[in-house]
Structure 1
Amino acid sequence: MSTSAANTSSVTVIGLGPMGRAMAGAYLDAGYQVTVWNRTASRADDLVARGAVRAATVGEALAANEVVVLSLTDYAAMYSILEPAVPALEGRVLVNLSSDTPGKAREGAAWAAKHGARHLTGGVQTPPSGIGSTEFNTYYSGPRELFEEYEDVLKVITGTDYRGEDPGLAALYYQLQMDLFWTALTAWLHTLALANANGISASEIQPYAAETLGGMGQFIDFYTPRIEAGQHSGDVERISMAVASLDHVVHTTRDSGVDPALPAALLEAFRRAAAEGYEEDSLTRLIAMFGRGTAAK
């Protein structure tokens, strides 16, 4: 770590939604001098009461510190907020923790470089309650030397997981986890709707749902080496079994007066794989099918 980075004890946080406020608070707790800016200035009131400096303008916020943490809705918000203050970007280190696509992250890094700023993409793997704890990680990507120079500053927010030089990688890893998270969470909510329709409460099904979801790690561990070896034999489970099982789920859902769209969509994917000749193969065959994007055609 360079001397300048080692002596960094101040930071600017732009964007004071729940995540941005948590980040600014973590820096205050760590003894940093913190400058904050938000479109709705009143969101900074509690932070100012704790010692943060409220910048009057974005340009003032950028000029205050070398390291600028962005916690915004997306990259479009970044452009909207920062473009009026482009001259103040020279020499800044933008730690962009806004969610967006890998392509948008690459474009954002190039835009920052054009205006004399250095850019690190970040993907935070915790809700606001986990900010300030090293039990959680944030994915980072961008120039390795930049990440290493400011890693101690980044660790105030969460632990760090550097993914590579490509600015899009942190965004990609983040979206991969969001794909898994939202799909699994929605499946649980559908399960609760089905349980409730049959007089079973959320608390009654909770231990069983937690056990099922908790056991998914074992399936991931088991299947990963087989997938990488191109092994999709149906010696453990078969697509034909999955079709029959999910068909029962769909019928149970309909019989209970619950919207069957979610399991029906999965059943359609299973049936499509069976129709392609993979009926006796493992469900892992779906990876190639999904990869072709057939559902979108």
Structure 2
Amino acid sequence: MSSKAPVSVIGLGDMGRALAGALLAAGHPTTVWNRSADKADELVARGAVRAASAEEALLASPLTLVCLLDYDTNRAVLEPAVGALRGRALVNLTNGTPDEAREAEKWAAGAGADYLDGGIMAIPATVGTPGAFVLYSGAERHFAAHRETLEALGAAKYLGADAGIAPLYDLALLSAMDMMFAGFFHSVAMATSHEEGSAGGFTELLVPWLTSMTQVMPAFAADVDADLDADPNGPAAGAGPALAQGLDVVLAGTQNMLRAARDAGVRADFFERAVAELEERAADGVTEYTGPETVRRLRTRRS
């Protein structure tokens, strides 16, 4: 008999199977359920118990992880088994928005269940490895009660009592990744427009360049935090950020990137928008390109 806490996993897509696999590897008795039952075959061969229904999976363990396509699917799967949630803990690792997480927390509370929302910062192959981490938000007592079990999936990072914080940070982190990959493919398209260009050769230059640029981010972050914390009437009022660049220089460089992309026959939608944005800032009398001013504009802009 294992001394580890039993856990159930509902949803056995690539990520759900990885979650269940990590729990099994850590020695947790694991019950699994999926609408397509064959998705559980490999896990059952490794020692998992296949539940006949979502309700059976919920009843099998004090803690259930749910990882499905979206929150609507979660509700469709869990609603018929809602009675089985009372007195149990539900950790929702389905990707969704902060408002969806808050609504799910209210629904779970109405069913008598403890609730945490989470964001998995890993791909299936890295779940349960030292490089993986998972964000959690919701009542801290629920996190504390199950932290040891949750650590089997990756470093468990608690963000706060608002259930919406974990999905907010999850989607913010994924946004940075998505924009990074979009920038990668744009730059490769430009570099390979030259007859002697190759994606591999260019990437050998790109990776160390981007790696070095990430070192600037903490300084930008410090500027943004100082701006958020500044008392407009205090002694720090008027103190400039540590990192600032002339807006005219940034605009000129962005215009060059726009023209070069067009000349290379590469779509330049992003740079068209960026030039328009910078020109608007200049028209508003902004002379410096800084982190705080950029963040303020991003937060207040409406599409």
* TM-score, normalising length: structure 2: 0.90
Change in 2 beyond 3 A, CA 1:233/1:69: closer
SS at 1:156 equivalent: helix
What is aligned with 2:40? Answer: 44
Preserved CA contact (<8 Å) 2:224 2:295: no
What is aligned with 2:153? Answer: 157
Shift of 1:256: 1.0
The one of 267, 285, 289 aligned to 1:282: 289
Structure 1: gaps of 5 or more residues:
1-5
The one of 242, 246, 252 aligned to 2:254: 246
SS at 1:121 equivalent: strand
Identity %: 34
The one of 72, 76, 80 aligned to 1:76: 72
Shift of 1:223: 2.1
The answer as to 2:270 corresponding to 1:262 is yes
Over residues 13-63 of structure 1, what are the superposed CA-to-partner deviations in whole Å (9 max), with x where a residue is unaligned? 011111110111111111221111112211111111111111111111111
The one of 212, 219, 224 aligned to 2:221: 224
Shift of 1:229: 3.0
Preserved CA contact (<8 Å) 1:232 1:282: no
Over residues 172-226 of structure 1, what are the superposed CA-to-partner deviations in whole Å (9 max), with x where a residue is unaligned? 1112212211111111111111112223222111122112221232221222222
The answer as to 2:204 corresponding to 1:207 is yes
The one of 13, 16, 22 aligned to 1:26: 22
SS at 1:72 equivalent: coil
Structure 2 distance, partners of 1:242, 1:129, is: 40
Over residues 237-286 of structure 1, what are the superposed CA-to-partner deviations in whole Å (9 max), with x where a residue is unaligned? 222111111111111111111111122222222222112111x2124222
Structure 2 distance, partners of 1:67, 1:100, is: 21
The answer as to 2:8 corresponding to 1:12 is yes
Change in 2 beyond 3 A, CA 1:211/1:113: same
Over residues 52-89 of structure 1, what are the superposed CA-to-partner deviations in whole Å (9 max), with x where a residue is unaligned? 11111111111111110111122111101111111111
Shift of 1:114: 0.2
Counterparts of 1:161-172 in structure 2 under 5 Å? 161-172=157-168
Structure 1 distance, partners of 2:224, 2:249, is: 19
* TM-score, normalising length: structure 1: 0.92
SS at 2:112 equivalent: coil
Over residues 121-141 of structure 1, what are the superposed CA-to-partner deviations in whole Å (9 max), with x where a residue is unaligned? 111111112111233211111
Counterparts of 1:77-226 in structure 2 under 5 Å? 77-199=73-195, 200-226=197-223
What is aligned with 1:3? Answer: none
Structure 1 distance, partners of 2:86, 2:243, is: 60
Structure 2 distance, partners of 1:233, 1:135, is: 33
Change in 2 beyond 3 A, CA 1:235/1:225: closer
What letter is aligned with 1:222? A
How big is the alpha-carbon RMSD for the aligned residues of Structure 1 and Structure 2? 1.8
SS at 1:134 equivalent: coil
Structure 2 distance, partners of 1:227, 1:106, is: 27
